[in-house]
Structure 1
């Protein structure tokens, strides 16, 4: 079989996600934590086909790989072979294709990740010349959960990928006509996606992760609501007496549009009293339900509720059932805090994980007005 690239409008592109899901289904119960594949959508595949490269073998599809450019590497992801087409060298074919594409893009290496449990895959990668570079640990796990591999390649002397459908979308264009043609293809793919987006609904939005910005981004949406003259509300589950810029501004100038309730007594290490924490979280959840039930509120922010859920201050089952069964259909609910529960992530419509890359606190810099509060 000869590899072929699937563009965003290729008739075979809708086969990609079902094939990947079928190939990954046998990993259920084998890898821990479960694959993030469940959150991948057909729109994601279309976007990756426009912004990166989706390559496949066979018709109907027998194997696929998705290539995306990193700063100094080409990432080969979602390498999948249909169970009926295993042991025919398809994975090796696509791995070697990734090397060719890395050279065309001017990237010095191909990288890929694999779960620690999949020793057979590790052996395949090593047999193709890949070497292990490091291991990573998913949040909340005491052991490494992923293994990363790389293979060095020699880039072409001309690092601009060849013209035609295989050209990498992020390579600099030295020809105005070529650039215009490429942008037109991107626009056509984007327009096709946007034409299918006709529904409006109230969203369940989760901001989680170790990085800074979960509450900050949520308050950005609250201020957008205020700017659109939409009623909204905030319930803070953990933060206590500390004054914050957002609370002071809202209460001083926008109290008619945004109710603000600080219900917590501080972070858990400050109170050191579980009974008080549970009582405060329960009171905050009762207020949150009242505000969410009010159809006048178009958005309700439950700030740091994920922490209360993590420590079982309020029942997760009750929160999930309420959001599913009682939230008005046009009301947005935003839940922030690190360590969001997997079941909440599964039920949510929009999930963003803030990744910690660098933080001044580790260098001895304290929280500062305008940045943290």
Structure 2
């Protein structure tokens, strides 16, 4: 029953993802939309163990909670208990551990989120002193889909106001402590390599963030290239700027014929995607290109316009070791996420399109 922290080098850390998936599996038919747990990778667990804290019970693992320091609190996520080890107090023990860690880290509260359907979990949190603070709604839904709770671990007094404290000496000491911890972590990061980077999710910003990295490469006089798999002939600001001013540093190939609902011709879409993938392979093989952006390739993969196996095999076997490849688009394949080095999911909270506002120059294109 004694919780144990797993450091990044702990041999038990690889068990964490398997435990979370096992614990969440029975929720598949209960919660809607599906859990983002499916997007988690072992790399994510390692990052969370490095930047936050992974605490477990049992050997082999029976329960886990992942604690992430945030501004003004400690976030408790992925609380999971193996089905064979439930009703033994593991969840309560880990929740109380989270409170102790919040106090130790000088955080005034523990926060956590839970799907609206999991009312038994809500009851557990309330019995441990958590109070509901707000609800959130996933993109595409017209009802709340998650409930958020918090528990204060330090009393509200004049000495602990909600506003940021104004004790300059204490603030400086806290920042110095954080800097020392960060410097210690950064001193271990010495490797350089070409990354496979995935931007996915329903939120806006996947291609925008990718083009931000392309412009960084251009600013460093690094040769790079862009292949657009879906977007058609419509003029975009990034393409016009690159072709007008940086064509010597960045090749730009718009290979798609528009969104799939525009062409309404699968054979044409497959042919266009195949041409785009052939061009992408050519550009990636060229060691002069430090970064190659495959814009909206995830959509082509989702509709089987190009074989996922071919893309994964090529990236594993033929990508030069110093070349970065960025793949954007919704619904990235789980196998691609597993193979990638860096994955970011853009979460949609609010979008003006739902209020009747059309796509606008400078924002969407």
* Alignment-derived partner of residue 48 in structure 1: 52
Residue 42 (structure 2) pairs with residue 38 (structure 1): yes
Alignment check: 8 A CA contact 2:111 2:151 kept: yes
Deviation at 1:120, TM superposition (A): 7.9
Residue 228 (structure 2) pairs with residue 236 (structure 1): yes
- Paired residues for 1:165-314 under 5 Å: 172-314=164-306
How many Å separate the matches in 2 of 1:305 and 1:200?
25
- Paired residues for 1:76-225 under 5 Å: 76-79=76-79, 89-96=89-96, 98=98, 107=109, 110-113=111-114, 124-125=124-125, 128=128, 148=147, 150=149, 156-158=155-157, 172-225=164-217
Within the candidate set 8, 24, 27, 2:23 is matched to 27
Deviation at 1:153, TM superposition (A): 6.3
In structure 2, the CA distance between the partners of 1:21 and 1:209, relative to structure 1 (3 Å rule), is closer
Deviates more, 1:252-261 or 1:122-131: 122-131
Deviation at 1:175, TM superposition (A): 2.7
Unmatched segments (≥5 aa) in structure 1: 163-169
Deviation at 1:159, TM superposition (A): 7.2
Alignment check: 8 A CA contact 1:241 1:266 kept: yes
SS in 2 for 1:40: helix
Residue 358 (structure 2) pairs with residue 366 (structure 1): yes
Q: What TM-score do you get using the length of structure 1 for normalisation?
A: 0.77
How many Å separate the matches in 2 of 1:288 and 1:252?
22
SS in 2 for 1:235: strand
Deviation at 1:37, TM superposition (A): 5.7
Deviation at 1:92, TM superposition (A): 1.8
How many Å separate the matches in 1 of 2:20 and 2:195?
28
SS in 1 for 2:52: helix
Alignment check: 8 A CA contact 1:98 1:110 kept: no
Deviation at 1:79, TM superposition (A): 3.5
The two structures, once aligned, show a CA RMSD in angstroms of 4.1
SS in 2 for 1:27: helix
Alignment check: 8 A CA contact 1:204 1:350 kept: yes
In structure 2, the CA distance between the partners of 1:332 and 1:153, relative to structure 1 (3 Å rule), is closer
Unmatched segments (≥5 aa) in structure 2: 29-34
Within the candidate set 303, 318, 323, 2:315 is matched to 323
In structure 2, the CA distance between the partners of 1:62 and 1:186, relative to structure 1 (3 Å rule), is farther
How many Å separate the matches in 1 of 2:80 and 2:9?
15
Cα deviation per residue 1:241-260 (whole Å; 9 max; x = unaligned)? 10011111111111111111
